[in-house]
């Protein structure tokens, strides 16, 4: 089995349009996430990565939804920044006040224009979900421990240099009963086969790792997550623009009888922490007499009567 760590960072997709079937993938993930997020309650929800930030969570009961994206995915000028959004983000609960993640993004991506330099690395960007955005790397989350109730990782692990480090950070900041939604590409599918074919080599799907769902679930279980549900979506190659709309009946039939051949999977997991219960000491009855002393007393009394 190949190591999950990459010596060289892969090409990172900044938008769903970087894939030929990107819009169809986005719609399928959004439909499943709308169902999953209705079960997640709390105060803070984080969409991790550029692809996750573009998934609208309109059915989520959590109102404070934050998107964390790398600087390479942000092309925001000072005119698109509102002073009220910046000031409200500075006082956002659960967000680290330090600008370590912003400095790391600045160091990694090189020069930053003066239009993007603000006192806080949290700002409001222009997207359909209109959620606050944080510039930072996925393996360095600027949140305090036990502060986030839910995470969405839309194919973030497939394009990560070290997916283990991302999951460890998610495990650090998630609450004891928090949820995480992870979508990924299935290698046991037509898309997994097309990845190794010499077609459209400029497509960023060739840089995706295509981890199996069993491997992702194994990583989650090692971190103390319980797998709640898994769904299979998108029965296509993903490398070509679909020319006809797949029938819902065919999609339902394939998901029911051939779920292993789907191009993508979506996992819903929940963090489980077993509380520690103090072990009470066992009650020990205090002995009323000593067996040795009783035996010697009977012997001495017997000798006296015999004499």
pLDDT digits (tens, 9 = 90+) for 75-121: 443 344 334 334 434 444 555 544 444 444 444 444 333 323 333 34
Q: How far is CA 142 from CA 32, 176, 195, in A?
A: 28, 18, 34
Other CB atoms within 10 A of residue 246 CB: 13
Comparing 237 with 150, the larger pLDDT belongs to 150
The pLDDT of 252-256, averaged and rounded, is 73
pLDDT reported for residue 301: 59
The pLDDT of 184-205, averaged and rounded, is 86
Cβ contacts of 192 within 8 Å, gap of 6 or more: 185, 186, 210, 263
- Fold entry, domain 16-306: Rossmann fold (3.40.50)
Q: Residue 16 and residue 286: Cα distance in Å, rounded?
A: 74
pLDDT reported for residue 197: 83
Comparing 229 with 4, the larger pLDDT belongs to 229
pLDDT reported for residue 62: 95
Say what percent of the chain tops pLDDT 70.
70
pLDDT reported for residue 65: 95
Other CB atoms within 10 A of residue 276 CB: 6
Tell me the two tokens of residue 125.
């960007």
Mean pLDDT of the residues in the chain = 78
The pLDDT of 44-69, averaged and rounded, is 94
| Of 13-27, 50-64, 112-126, 169-183, the least confident | 112-126
Cα of first residue to Cα of last residue in the chain, in angstroms, is 89
pLDDT reported for residue 30: 96
pLDDT reported for residue 257: 77
Listed by start position, the domains of the chain span 16-306
pLDDT reported for residue 185: 95
Say what percent of the chain tops pLDDT 90.
45
pLDDT reported for residue 246: 56
pLDDT digits (tens, 9 = 90+) for 255-297: 777 778 889 999 999 999 877 777 777 777 666 655 655 555 5
pLDDT reported for residue 99: 42
- Best CA proximity match to 41, nearest among 272, 270, 274, 273: 270
In 112-142, which positions are buried (b, 16+ CB within 10 angstroms) versus exposed (e)? eeeebebebbbbbbeeebebbbbbbbbbebb
pLDDT reported for residue 8: 87
Tell me the two tokens of residue 260.
């292993």
pLDDT reported for residue 299: 57
pLDDT reported for residue 69: 92
191 pLDDT tier (thresholds 50, 70, 90): confident
């Amino acid at each position: 089995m190949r190591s999950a760590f990459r010596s060289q960072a892969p090409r990172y997709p900044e938008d769903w349009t970087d894939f030929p079937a990107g819009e169809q993938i986005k719609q399928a993930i959004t439909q499943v996430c709308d169902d999953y997020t209705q079960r997640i309650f709390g105060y803070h929800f984080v969409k991790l990565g550029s692809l996750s930030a573009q998934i609208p969570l309109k059915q989520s009961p959590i109102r404070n939804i934050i998107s964390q994206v790398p600087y390479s995915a942000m092309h925001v000028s000072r005119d698109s920044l509102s002073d009220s959004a910046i000031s409200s983000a500075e006082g956002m609960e659960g967000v680290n006040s330090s600008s370590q993640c912003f400095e790391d993004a600045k160091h990694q991506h090189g020069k930053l224009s003066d239009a993007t330099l603000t006192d806080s690395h949290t700002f409001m960007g222009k997207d359909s979900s209109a959620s606050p955005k944080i510039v930072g790397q996925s393996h360095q989350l600027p949140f305090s421990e036990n502060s986030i109730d839910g995470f969405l990782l839309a194919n973030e692990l497939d394009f990560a240099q070290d997916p283990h480090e991302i999951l460890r950070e998610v495990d650090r900041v998630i609450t004891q009963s928090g949820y995480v939604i992870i979508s990924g590409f299935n290698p046991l599918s037509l898309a997994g086969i097309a990845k190794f074919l010499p077609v459209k080599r400029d497509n960023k799907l060739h840089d995706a790792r295509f981890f199996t769902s069993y491997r992702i679930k194994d990583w989650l279980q090692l971190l103390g997550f319980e797998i709640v549900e898994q769904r299979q979506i998108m029965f296509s190659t993903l490398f070509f623009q679909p020319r006809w709309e797949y029938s819902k009946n065919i999609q339902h039939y394939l998901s029911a009888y051939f779920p292993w051949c789907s191009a993508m999977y979506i996992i819903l997991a929940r963090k489980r922490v077993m509380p520690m219960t103090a072990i009470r000491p066992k009650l020990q009855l205090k002995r009323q007499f000593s067996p040795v002393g009783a035996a010697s007393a009977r012997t001495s009394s017997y000798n006296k009567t015999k004499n």
